[in-house]
Amino acid sequence: MTEKKELGLAVVGCGVVGRIRATLAKDYPGIGWIGLSDMNEDVGQKLKNDINADYYTNDFRELIRRPEVDAVIVATSTWAHVEPTLTAVEQGHKLFIEKPLATDARQSLEILSAIESNDIDAVIGYTQRFRRRFLVVKEKIQSGQIGEFNCAVVRAFMNRMAPTGETRLTQDRRYLTPMVVSGTHSLDMAFWLMGDAGKPVSIYARSRDVIMKELGTKDATFGLFTMENGSMFSMNICWALPKEWPGAVYGLEIGIVGTEGVIDIEDTHRDVILATENPQGPAYVPDGNTKGLTEVQRNVDFLTSFPPGDIHDGELWGPMREETNSWFQRIYSGKQTPHATAVEGHRNLMLTMAMDLSAKRGTEIKLPIDPDELMTGLDE
């Protein structure tokens, strides 16, 4: 057997998710060099020391262009993916990009076009695809167990800690909406499970912004997609639940009805509940910043509700471990994986932003919609 070359990995963004993925890279035998970049030198240097990384810089361009690098993980803040992604594409590197590709539909299309024209293997971070329950559902639908897709409904509940964390680093919060930041996960799951049947031709949505208005975002968005064949998909997300709400991040309910059967998924994490006299903090504290996250006391927790997984004996176990190690296999051995593609990532952003536009106008939006038209409408 021919011995494979160890790969050099650049991790741009050393916060919660970048730390998780870089730590897993340290233990993967096919990764021979790890370089890190973060604007916060304390955060970057700490991760470098913790995993004994080979290199750190606060200049992501310099890191990505180093000769040791073969692949790049972009794990910066939600609104800061564009420049490091395009820099990595210029270098021809394999890519793992945290969702979304961008928070501007025009930039998302620019990234997708660059990826496709340079024939880059790029995947998007939709971690829930790697959970056993969703993989088995995907398999049952693919094998025709419920017939043709007829309709689906998704409900997502989140407490306010997620939007509080998301909005902490920027004052431009126009596109940091419940759909773009978090609803995108449940939307991706639904369209992934639908497969070829998921061809939307219109969306009608409404939003509400009473509780979260002071943070510059919305409380909730509800919407109804109509598909090319007349089938329907209804989804909603509310991320304005009290911070005392026991779910660490969010809980889902998904129902998919086919012409020959139904699959009903209860994913609210109420099967493992902790009740304690010892206050529980947030599931994660971005960059050690507790502002707005820890002023409440949580004495009940839905365990296993933190999407990346859970810590045991200092290590993360769960879907983000599966997702990250699967990507390492993909780039090292060429393994086929369930990761979201760049095409799917761009589609997800367009649909979530189309929901926001429909809610803003109070009218049905025909799909597909041009990115320029979409952004012009949102900026009106």
pLDDT in tens, 133-156: 999 999 999 999 999 999 999 999
Q: How far is CA 227 from the centre of its chain?
A: 24
Domain residue ranges of the chain, discontinuous segments joined by +: 7-127+321-341, 129-309
Q: How many CB atoms lie within 10 A of CB 276?
A: 10
- The SS3 call for residue 371 is helix
CB distance 28 to 324 below 8 Å: no
Q: Which pLDDT score, from 0 to 100, does residue 39 have?
A: 95
Q: Which pLDDT score, from 0 to 100, does residue 250 have?
A: 83
Query: What global pTM score does this model have?
Result: 0.94
Q: Which pLDDT score, from 0 to 100, does residue 257 have?
A: 98
Q: Which pLDDT score, from 0 to 100, does residue 196 have?
A: 94
Supply φ then ψ for residue 28, to 5 degrees: -90, 125
CATH superfamily of 7-127+321-341: NAD(P)-binding Rossmann-like Domain (3.40.50.720)
Report the interhelical angle of 342-361 vs 371-379 (nearest 10°).
40
Q: By C-alpha distance, which of 260, 267, 96, 281 is closest to 189?
A: 267
**Within this chain, domains 7-127+321-341 and 129-309 share the same CATH topology:** no
Q: Which pLDDT score, from 0 to 100, does residue 291 have?
A: 52
Q: CATH number of 129-309: 3.40.50.300, 3.30.360.10, 3.10.180.10, 3.40.50.10470?
A: 3.30.360.10
CB distance 233 to 155 below 8 Å: no
Below-70 pLDDT ranges, the chain: 1-3, 168-172, 283-295
User: Residue 305's beta-bridge partner residues?
Assistant: none
Q: Which pLDDT score, from 0 to 100, does residue 248 have?
A: 78
CA triple 286-154-124, angle to 5 deg = 50
**In angstroms, what CA-CA distances link 111 with 61, 64, 106, 328?**
16, 16, 9, 22
